[in-house]
Amino acid sequence: MSSSRGSSAHLVLRLLALQLLGCGLSAAAPSPIIRFPGDDTVPKSDKEVALHYLNKFYGCPQDRCNLMVLKDTLKKMQKFFSLPETGEIDQRTVEIMKKPRCGVPDVANYNFFPSKPKWGKNTLTYRILGHTPDLDEEVIDDAFFRAFKVWSDVTPLKFTRIMDGEADIMINFGRNEHGDGYPFDGKDGLLAHAFAPGQGIGGDSHFDDDEQWTLGEGQVVKVKFGNAEGEFCKFPFLFMGQEYNSCTTQGRDDGFLWCSTTYNFDEEGKYGFCPHELLFTLGGNGDGAPCKFPFTFQGEKYHGCTTEGRSDGYRWCATTEDYDRDKSYGFCPETALSTVGGNSEGGPCTFPFTFLGNTYDACTSSGRSDGKMWCATTKSYDEDRKWGFCPDQGYSLFLVAAHEFGHALGLEHSQDTTALMAPIYTYTKNFRLSSDDIRGIQELYGASTDKPLPPTQGPITPMDFCDEDIIFDAVAQIRGETFFFKDRYVFQTSNFRAKPRGPMLVKTFWKELPDRIDAAYENPLEKKTVFFAGNQVWVYSANTLERGYPKTTTV
């Protein structure tokens, strides 16, 4: 009896999923792909992607990465990522190459780390030279502090922050070529890099400021006023049944941007206002008064913050209608609609804007082949060609920093995809060091003498597929292979006779999935994969989450 109940529940889920798939298929008119000024992520052919990647991370010589060397180097890379070692530039290999990652090469003894260097002392200093405008300084300092603590918890190492002078580990943010000959590359792609222990640049850690730095779950915005002053926005949040991923003016007629500080605004009603120049200014002599638009400056009228009259690029406004007369001004806060990358120095989106003659009221992926969301920062992209990417989940500064500091202490990349030291960025909410990371760092510095691991925080021992009795959360056939899911891990096989590969992190394949799923299946007709967890459903085309997902199922 119980088995028939089980199967009918399964059927309901399947029907529901098919309906949801149907909803996602509304045909959008194709728009031409254009070249955005200041965009380094020009679409490249798979071969170009592969050559660039193998040169940068596997030492394949730039001009002589010919057929023979290419095949061998490609196999090395495929081995590193537990891919089938075909030596061919296949789709899965290219997918891995396109993922956001650390800029340090994967091959030992190449480029950065000629020998196994380590610090000859256990007390190290660090200094934060610059802060990204994406986050509060407090939040940044805390992220770095916690990232060092990851390593000091399991070794005798101690880290002390200094405010000036030369520290062992100098931390900074930079864009493109930033002074060390290892340029960053705009949004996504390379996220950060660090140098192995040593004098001078040794130990230094650099973060690409064309990324949107967050704590891994969207913008970190501290609200003002409202009934939740000083708390952080919760993205996404639910308002009138719709989810919002950034601050919004919806529901207000005064144009002020607001957000909810809990997920469900409709039930809890906790909110505050997002930083905006119409709410307050910083510094200057205007006593924090909001901008007054339009204002006059040198006889010209301004309807928004400007960098005119300044050489430092900071955006400012007058706090009365006539700057020439009153000389009263303040600096504009980073607004919650700030853009990332592009060519607008983080300036906010302007809605509506026109692009190729069409009007847009929200961020769009039109004109791009990579599906990234962007907006214009003036009323007309067609006239001004000023733009930036729209905020997304961003990258966790804490996780990326903890990884980079691993390099700064002498660790190389790990082939264990569950390790912090794996080269590809993977967001995990409840972060724990893997046994592989702990083994690596303790090989260099020994175990901590006075800091026993609290039992609940101990390392997770990766499961062995054959030696342990594992009850899987889900098993699914996806693209001709079988996937076994257990918590945040997945094993994969294309051949039932061979031992499955893994464990790998589920998030390596489907980065938006939660730490545990209940069910998964592939819809072979649509070539889409559907996942269930709790009352939510995720639909993927290959490894890309379909827009609008996850959705909440209401059965």
Tell me the binding residues for Zn(2+).
102, 178, 180, 193, 206
Please identify, among the stretches 96-104, 225-233, 266-274, 494-502, the one whose residues bind Zn ion according to the rule CB under 5 A: 96-104
The residue (of 208 and 546) whose beta carbon lies closer to Zn ion is 208
Please identify, among the stretches 94-102, 254-262, 285-293, 431-439, the one whose residues bind Zn ion according to the rule CB under 5 A: 94-102
The residue (of 137 and 180) whose beta carbon lies closer to Zn ion is 180
Residue 56 engages Zn ion in binding (rule: CB under 5 A) = no
Residues 139, 230: Cα–Cα separation, whole Å: 13
Give yes or no: 404 in active site.
Answer: yes
Closest distance to Zn ion from the beta carbon of 56 (Å): 12
Closest distance to Zn ion from the beta carbon of 545 (Å): 25
Residue 180 engages Zn ion in binding (rule: CB under 5 A) = yes
Residue 383 engages Zn ion in binding (rule: CB under 5 A) = no
Residues 56, 105: Cα–Cα separation, whole Å: 7
In DSSP notation, 48-75 reads HHHHHHHHHHH---TTT--HHHHHHHHH
Angle 156-197-127 (CA atoms, 0-180°, nearest 5)? Answer: 80
Residues 541, 264: Cα–Cα separation, whole Å: 29
Q: Is 486 in a helix, a strand, or coil?
A: strand
Closest distance to Zn ion from the beta carbon of 453 (Å): 24
According to CB under 5 A, which one of 102, 143, 399, 408 is a site residue for Zn ion? 102
The residue (of 60 and 102) whose beta carbon lies closer to Zn ion is 102
| Nearest of 232, 271, 281, 229 to residue 250 by alpha carbon | 271
Residue 206 engages Zn ion in binding (rule: CB under 5 A) = yes
Contact mark string toward Zn ion, 125..154, x via CB under 5 A = ------------------------------
Please identify, among the stretches 142-150, 172-180, 208-216, 364-372, the one whose residues bind Zn ion according to the rule CB under 5 A: 172-180
Residues 400, 193: Cα–Cα separation, whole Å: 9
| Nearest of 554, 525, 553, 552 to residue 541 by alpha carbon | 525
The residue (of 104 and 399) whose beta carbon lies closer to Zn ion is 104
Closest distance to Zn ion from the beta carbon of 332 (Å): 29
Q: Contacts with Zn ion: how many residues (CB under 5 A)?
A: 4
Catalytic residue, chosen from 334, 404, 522, 546, is: 404
The residue (of 188 and 277) whose beta carbon lies closer to Zn ion is 188
- Say if residues 308 and 320 touch (Cβ distance below 8 Å): no
Binding residues: 102, 134, 168, 178, 180, 185-186, 190, 193, 202, 204, 206, 208-209, 211, 473, 518, 520
β-sheet bridge partners, residue 205: 171, 194
Catalytic residue, chosen from 48, 138, 177, 231, is: 231
- Say if residues 82 and 504 touch (Cβ distance below 8 Å): yes
According to CB under 5 A, which one of 20, 104, 402, 433 is a site residue for Zn ion? 104
Closest distance to Zn ion from the beta carbon of 197 (Å): 14
The DSSP letter of residue 390 is P
Closest distance to Zn ion from the beta carbon of 77 (Å): 15
Residues 1, 9: Cα–Cα separation, whole Å: 13
Residue 177 engages Zn ion in binding (rule: CB under 5 A) = no
The residue (of 170 and 215) whose beta carbon lies closer to Zn ion is 170
Cα dist. 452→155, 293, 420, 449, 459 in Å? 10, 59, 21, 8, 12
Contacts 24+ apart (CB under 8 A), 520-526: 520/474, 520/476, 520/478, 520/483, 520/485, 521/14, 521/17, 521/476, 521/477, 522/476, 522/477, 522/478, 522/479, 523/17, 523/18, 523/21, 526/21
The residue (of 437 and 546) whose beta carbon lies closer to Zn ion is 437
Angle 62-117-162 (CA atoms, 0-180°, nearest 5)? Answer: 105
Residues 349, 375: Cα–Cα separation, whole Å: 6
| Nearest of 230, 223, 191 to residue 209 by alpha carbon | 191
Please identify, among the stretches 199-207, 230-238, 368-376, 475-483, the one whose residues bind Zn ion according to the rule CB under 5 A: 199-207
The residue (of 57 and 491) whose beta carbon lies closer to Zn ion is 57
Please identify, among the stretches 21-29, 103-111, 245-253, 382-390, the one whose residues bind Zn ion according to the rule CB under 5 A: 103-111
Q: Which residue of this chain has its Cβ atom nearest to Zn ion in the complex?
A: 102
| Nearest of 229, 254, 215 to residue 428 by alpha carbon | 215
For CA atoms 104, 105, 108, 113, give the dihedral sign. negative
Closest distance to Zn ion from the beta carbon of 403 (Å): 5
Residues 234, 471: Cα–Cα separation, whole Å: 34
The structure tokens listed for 370 are: 């990579």
Closest distance to Zn ion from the beta carbon of 104 (Å): 4
Kindly report the three-state secondary structure assignment for every residue of 443-460: HHHCCCCCCCCCHHHCCE
The residue (of 89 and 104) whose beta carbon lies closer to Zn ion is 104
Total residue count of the chain as it appears in this document: 555
Closest distance to Zn ion from the beta carbon of 191 (Å): 9
Please identify, among the stretches 149-157, 202-210, 381-389, 480-488, the one whose residues bind Zn ion according to the rule CB under 5 A: 202-210
Q: Which residues bind Zn ion (CB under 5 A)?
A: 102, 104, 180, 206
Q: Which residue numbers are catalytic? A: 231, 404
